[in-house]
Amino acid sequence: MREHEIYDRLSIVEEKLNIRPSSIFLNILSLTYNFLLNKFDIVEKRAETLSMDTKTPNVFYELFRGIAYLNRGALLDANIVFKYVLNIDPELHYGYMFKGYVNMAEGKNAQELFEKTVALAPANEKETILHLTNAKEDEKLKIILSEENLDRREFIDILKELQKTNKDSIILKTSLAEAYFRAQETEKAQTLLQEILITYPDYPRILYLLGRIYDERLNNPTKANEFYRKVLEINPLCRYRMLPIEENESALNELNELILLYKTESPILRYFEHIYKRAKEEKTEEKSKKTETVETEMKGPSVTSDIEYGKNLLREKKYKEALEFFLQRMKKP
């Protein structure tokens, strides 16, 4: 997308926001277009305001807030926000991606976080992340999220076995609940989902599954739509969104614009690609300078620098030191 096109779209979005300032889709579009124009000051201020004003947390408001902090070098603040993002949606690949970047910038291991990023990334971004970070896909995560596996009743036993050594994995626990749901064990699924909801009240996948239970098993579409709408409020781009939900046609058009923008432009991934490559280049340059310094130190001072050093001693009238220095120099081969 060219710059003038971004400005045109932003202008239209801003006009609509004057009429509907609380529209989630419009606000994310506004943040994204400003972000594409590198207006990080605007992005930070708006993201902070939206984050404070909203009752239901939105991962994109938080994500853009964290990226703005990251852009001005506030790594600690950015890291806190990215942790919060993952507490909202434990399956948001951008959260692991940027947390991995912070780890890398702080000299910590980032590979495990990048492996999770690859496993959770949508198809249109997966290959780029793979090549960029050189990270393998988290095999365990790939297995427990597999649609094919979740449809197998016997997979329930495998997940229960995995849980014994991965008790803290909220994604694993949620996959078990989904496996129960698919196996028609609705009561077990609902009980487990309600249990997870206590700790993760805004986890889109949990809300989506509860919505399906009320819709498909309990014949309560009104209650189901409450859960589906909340998923859209928290993360309108997640793979668990249910459409159509909104009765407002313009809101659906704005959501479709948002989906298309991220599918064709991958704005957040492109930014990550830029800063990641820059960080790697800086590390390579830093390593090269260190190697150069070590090699220079190993070789010792040159003849020219030796002579200059001796001359400086004479200029400073340190005759005894100068005499000792030149005598020592003469003994060298």
In whole angstroms, what separates CA 100 from the centre of its chain? 8
Q: Counting beta carbons within 10 angstroms of the beta carbon of residue 37, is it exposed (0 to 12), middle (13 to 18) or buried (19 or more)?
A: middle
pLDDT for position 206: 98
Q: Is it the case that residue 35 has pLDDT exceeding 80?
A: yes
Host domain of residue 326: 301-333
The predicted-structure confidence for 199-258, as pLDDT tens digits, reads as follows 999 999 999 999 999 999 999 999 999 999 999 999 999 999 987 555 678 889 999 999
Q: Is residue 329 part of a domain?
A: yes
Q: Is residue 215 part of a domain?
A: no
The chain-wide mean pLDDT, for the chain, equals: 91
Q: Is it the case that residue 81 has pLDDT exceeding 90?
A: yes
Angle at 163 between CA 228 and CA 198, to 5 degrees: 40
Number of domains observed in the structure of the chain? 1
Q: Is residue 331 part of a domain?
A: yes
Q: Is residue 315 part of a domain?
A: yes
pLDDT for position 52: 96
Q: Is residue 313 part of a domain?
A: yes
Query: Residue 127 and residue 241: Cα distance in Å, rounded?
Result: 23
The predicted-structure confidence for 277-313, as pLDDT tens digits, reads as follows 999 888 777 766 665 554 544 454 454 466 777 777 7
The predicted-structure confidence for 171-195, as pLDDT tens digits, reads as follows 999 999 999 999 999 999 999 999 9
Task: Tally Cβ neighbours within 10 Å of residue 71.
Answer: 17
Q: Is it the case that residue 111 has pLDDT exceeding 50?
A: yes
CB 67 within 8 A of CB 51: no
The predicted-structure confidence for 136-174, as pLDDT tens digits, reads as follows 999 999 999 999 999 999 999 999 999 999 989 999 999
pLDDT for position 233: 95
Q: Is residue 316 part of a domain?
A: yes
pLDDT for position 305: 60
Q: Is residue 325 part of a domain?
A: yes
pLDDT for position 315: 74
Mean pLDDT, residues 60-78:
97
pLDDT for position 297: 47
CA-nearest of 179, 187, 189, 191 to 154 is 179
pLDDT for position 333: 56
Q: Is residue 317 part of a domain?
A: yes
Q: Is it the case that residue 271 has pLDDT exceeding 90?
A: yes
Q: How far is CA 74 from CA 34, 86, 103, in A?
A: 20, 19, 13
